[in-house]
Amino acid sequence: MSHIDSITTGTSVLVMAEGDDVAVALRDLQPGETLPVGDGLLTVTTLIPSGHKVALTDLDVGATVHKYGQSIGVATAPISRGEQVHSHNIGMDLAARTHEFGTVHTELPAPTARRTFDGYRRADGRAGTRNYIAILTTVNCSGTTAKLIADRFRGGALDGFENVDGVIALTHQSGCGLVLESEGAQVLLRTLNGYASHPNIAGVLMLSLGCEMTPTSLVLAEGALPSDTVVESLSIQETGGMRNTVAAGVEKILALAEQINNRHREPIDISELVLGLNCGGSDGYSGITANPALGWASDVLVAHGGTSVLAETPEIYGAEHLLTARATTPAVGHKLIDRIDWWETYIHANGGTMDNNPSPGNKAGGISTILEKSLGAVAKAGHADLAAVYEYAEPIDTRGLGFMDTPGYDPVSVTGLVAGGATVVVFTTGRGSVFGCKPTPSIKVGTNTELFLRQGDDIDIDAGRIADGNATVDEVGAEILEMIIAVASGTQTVSEEFDVGQEEFVPWHIGAVT
């Protein structure tokens, strides 16, 4: 699968790969317009909104429609050259895909110089990019109390603690009424422990109600925390109710802040970074601009010995064969297929199908099928070999490119990545997003310039310049990499400036509640 390195200013349509049946409109195309495409001319017969597809050839019902050199669906109605190709005349391609394992290997260019960021070295050897105190709740019943404690530290309450990035209340909707041996309970415990031991969190206040199925002792026993993580705990029932617990919690947070404020940033090689890759509100430009540019930055980080992790299993469905071909071992590739199989069974049991995606917003932005969406999404992973596949919130422990099994719902997906250890997240969006994910900074990259002009206060980087012909994929990729390093060193993202990221802690809920 190829991507376009650069686009000439003023280009009206873009063909992504040789042999494609469609081109992408880079501006609104009007009926009757005649445009140069390849060696010939194309007359547009219907309105084609920017980011949507125009047919390059006549297609019969049942014909495979190609974009990116891959199938994105089959024609459900006759399609004429020059006509819009979208969800009204293209549907899911149900043909079985062939999976190869380890047949494609890309030798990434070796870095010419080592790069560093200014981070926090933790006692277990990992490197953090932030220094937070987390109020981690064992159960939903303690959620409001946790937020009341955290709210006391908004504004200037931490002005005397310059090395403390903030206090966050990590609340959720579970923790009781579940079978501890169940898959859902194990996912929750893995997630809670992943946050408790996260290198961006130096102090933890475990807050329980006191009678839940997931007590503090079990959460902390799920894995070893770094020895320099300072832990306190409170039980609402034992402390005497909400008012007393809030007062006690404030005192404990102040004590934690005193202890972790003496932590200081130091130069650390960027090979220590763990980058989470995610997208939300994708559009027809995602696979042309922001995602390939992020893939470029991901490849450079991996070439430096760093770690980059793709996610959202339902949104690589139909493109997973591109990843299995890059697997370092057959076992890695088969683990990815196992997760795809799990999802097919899971979705079917709940009365759905995998092509329930894309969302209405994706379709409004020009994406017609899950196959098209997935092919664009996989571009975030660049060209590196696939070195590991992780279950949700599983510790990320293998250098190189990895994949984590998560839902496509953004807060749930990124919660899994952060629980696994992601210390920086880059989040691409075409329709617009206000996403953040404390304690990990989230860099948002817009796919089109119109979005950046409309919602620029929420977007860190405008990758739409690629489609405008004003920048190349490599140039925007280099800009993303520089921002990753700057943000890892303490520069705030726009979501951090708005104090976004506490409410986006959303562990994946699987299974029955009793």
pLDDT in tens, 77-134: 999 999 999 999 999 998 878 999 999 999 999 999 999 999 999 999 999 999 999 9
Determine the length of the chain.
Answer: 514
CB 298 within 8 A of CB 401: yes
pLDDT of residue 180: 87
Instruction: For residue range 270-312, list pLDDT tens digits in order.
Output: 999 999 999 999 999 999 999 999 999 999 999 999 999 999 9
Helix axes 183-196, 410-420, angle to 10 degrees: 60
Looking at every residue in the chain, the average pLDDT score rounds to: 95
CA atoms of 403 and 337, how far apart (whole Å): 12
From 488, 277, 265, 491, select the one nearest 402 (Cα to Cα).
277
Instruction: For residue range 319-353, list pLDDT tens digits in order.
Output: 999 999 999 999 999 999 999 999 999 998 888 88
CA atoms of 382 and 451, how far apart (whole Å): 24
C-alpha radius of gyration, the chain, whole number: 24
From 128, 169, 178, select the one nearest 151 (Cα to Cα).
169
16 band by pLDDT with thresholds 50, 70 and 90: very high
CA atoms of 134 and 158, how far apart (whole Å): 14
Instruction: For residue range 358-383, list pLDDT tens digits in order.
Output: 899 999 999 999 999 999 999 999 99
pLDDT of residue 438: 98
CA atoms of 237 and 250, how far apart (whole Å): 17
At 186, phi and psi to the nearest 5? -65, -35
Instruction: For residue range 174-206, list pLDDT tens digits in order.
Output: 999 888 889 999 999 999 999 999 999 999 999
pLDDT of residue 352: 86
What the block records as the tokens of 364 is 């409004």
Burial class (CB in 10 A: 0-12, 13-18, 19+), 353: exposed
| 119-265 and 13-91 share a CATH fold | no
3 band by pLDDT with thresholds 50, 70 and 90: low
Contacts of 212 (CB under 8 A, 6+ apart): 138, 139, 141, 175, 176
1 band by pLDDT with thresholds 50, 70 and 90: low
Burial class (CB in 10 A: 0-12, 13-18, 19+), 264: exposed
Q: How far apart are the first and last CA of the chain?
A: 47
User: What is the identity of the amino acid at 343?
Assistant: W
Contacts of 113 (CB under 8 A, 6+ apart): none
Q: Is 161 a residue whose pLDDT tops 60?
A: yes
Percent of the chain with pLDDT strictly greater than 90: 90
> What are the sequence ranges of the domains in the chain?
13-91, 119-265, 275-498
Class of the domain covering 13-91: mainly beta
Residue 184 CB neighbours (<10 A): 18
Task: Give me the CATH code for the 119-265 domain, please.
Answer: 3.40.50
Instruction: For residue range 403-435, list pLDDT tens digits in order.
Output: 999 999 999 999 999 999 999 999 999 999 999
CA atoms of 128 and 393, how far apart (whole Å): 17
- Pure H helices in 197-260: 216-221, 236-239, 242-260
2 band by pLDDT with thresholds 50, 70 and 90: low
CA atoms of 185 and 393, how far apart (whole Å): 12
Q: What is the DSSP string of 53-108?
A: EEESS-B-TT-EEEETTEEEEEESS-B-TTSEESTTTEE---SPPP--SS-----P
- Mean pLDDT, residues 379-405 taken together: 98
4 band by pLDDT with thresholds 50, 70 and 90: confident
pLDDT of residue 351: 87
